[in-house]
């Protein structure tokens, strides 16, 4: 699941204070039903210049090919040209797995080749030392992501940011990709979640939600759902967060108007 280097410069807030400059991107999971080469030019037209790439259909030119380490040289060249021609930076790749060191190396090699600085995963505890080591080799960071709580799998604890912090220990190249929508659907205090990951926050898959504590809740336009988005941004800004706010939404048939509204919200708050 899972951005672009879309900078919002500092400007006066309603209280006369200066708002921080935010880096904002768009997650390609938002357009999971479309080919990447259809989406990228439309994002460019919206002023977006960074993406968080996931395993995404590349192009009608390459049927059944998904973006990722298994792409051949021709397909990788096509992706690089697509991004370069549209002034789009790939800042992260994921959400991905990797059970072996060889698997993890393939993912990191692909992300680094495409210019990303972050790999987003749901890695299990026993692979974290491997991610930490290989990310160091490629100049990357691994960001642990979480989905909502799974009632049929009580052993799944990744939905809880406090738990993730206990398994990160002192790994230099591993941190958190916060999906505050998953926290909300799991019934967790979202602002409290951001407080708990202070110092380890690498990337944010930012969402507002239609309902709180509902595992099947859909996303809402920022500021139109049940979450206190202003309080969320205030907390994150107070941490001096320098990563990407990645806009992600997979609940709409046509997400471009939603992306535009969310970009506008982040500019104005």
Q: What is the mean pLDDT of the chain?
A: 92
CB 190 within 8 A of CB 232: yes
CB 206 within 8 A of CB 2: no
CB 161 within 8 A of CB 171: no
pLDDT for 4 equals 42
Q: How many CB atoms lie within 10 A of CB 75?
A: 18
> Which residue carries 């190249």 as its tokens?
173
The string of pLDDT tens digits covering residues 178-200 is 999 999 999 999 999 999 999 99
The string of pLDDT tens digits covering residues 56-91 is 999 999 999 999 999 999 999 999 999 999 999 999
Q: How many CB atoms lie within 10 A of CB 260?
A: 14
The string of pLDDT tens digits covering residues 40-53 is 999 999 999 999 99
The string of pLDDT tens digits covering residues 203-213 is 999 999 999 99
Distance of CA 224 to the CA centre of its chain: 21
> Which residue carries 């990357």 as its tokens?
140
Please report the DSSP string for 132-196 in residue order. HHHHHHHT-EEEE------TT-TT--TT-HHHHHHHHTT-TTEEEEEEHHHHHHTT--HHHHHHH
Instruction: Say whether pLDDT at 9 is over 60.
Output: no
Residue 17's pLDDT band, with cuts at 50, 70 and 90, is low
The string of pLDDT tens digits covering residues 105-127 is 999 999 999 999 999 999 989 99
Q: Which residues contact 226 (CB under 8 A, 6 or more apart)?
A: 184, 208, 209, 210, 211, 212, 220
Residue 103 CB-half CA count within 13 A: 8
d(C-alpha 41, C-alpha 46), whole Å: 9
Both tokens of residue 33?
Answer: 């039903």
Query: Which 3 state secondary structure label does DSSP give 244?
Result: strand
pLDDT for 188 equals 97
Ranges 24-33, 109-118, 163-172, 247-256, most confident: 109-118
pLDDT for 12 equals 47
CB 111 within 8 A of CB 141: no
d(C-alpha 257, C-alpha 262), whole Å: 9
Start-to-end CA span in the chain (Å): 25
């Amino acid at each position: 699941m899972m951005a672009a280097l879309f900078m919002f410069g500092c400007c006066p807030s309603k209280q006369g204070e200066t708002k921080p400059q935010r880096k904002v991107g768009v997650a390609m999971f938002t357009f999971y039903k479309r080919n990447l080469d259809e989406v990228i030019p439309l994002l460019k037209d919206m002023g977006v210049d960074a993406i968080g790439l996931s395993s995404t259909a590349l192009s009608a030119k390459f049927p059944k090919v998904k973006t990722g380490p298994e792409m051949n040289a021709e397909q990788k060249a096509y992706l690089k040209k697509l991004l370069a021609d549209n002034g789009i930076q790939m800042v992260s790749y994921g959400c991905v797995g990797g059970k072996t060191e060889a698997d993890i190396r393939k993912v990191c090699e692909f992300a680094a080749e495409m210019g990303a600085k972050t790999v987003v995963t749901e890695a299990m505890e026993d692979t974290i030392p491997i991610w930490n080591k290989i990310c160091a080799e490629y100049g990357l960071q691994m960001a642990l992501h979480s989905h909502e709580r799974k009632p049929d799998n009580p052993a799944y604890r990744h939905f809880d940011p406090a738990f993730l912090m206990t398994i990160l220990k002192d790994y230099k190249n591993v941190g958190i990709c916060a999906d505050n929508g998953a926290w909300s659907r799991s019934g967790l205090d979202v602002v409290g979640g951001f407080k708990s990951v202070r110092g380890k926050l690498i990337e944010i898959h930012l969402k507002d939600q239609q309902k709180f504590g509902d595992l099947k809740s859909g996303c809402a336009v920022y500021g139109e759902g049940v979450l206190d988005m202003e309080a969320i941004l205030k907390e994150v800004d107070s941490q001096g967060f320098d990563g990407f706010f990645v806009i992600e939404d997979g609940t709409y048939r046509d997400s471009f108007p939603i992306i535009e509204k969310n970009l506008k919200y982040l500019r104005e708050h």
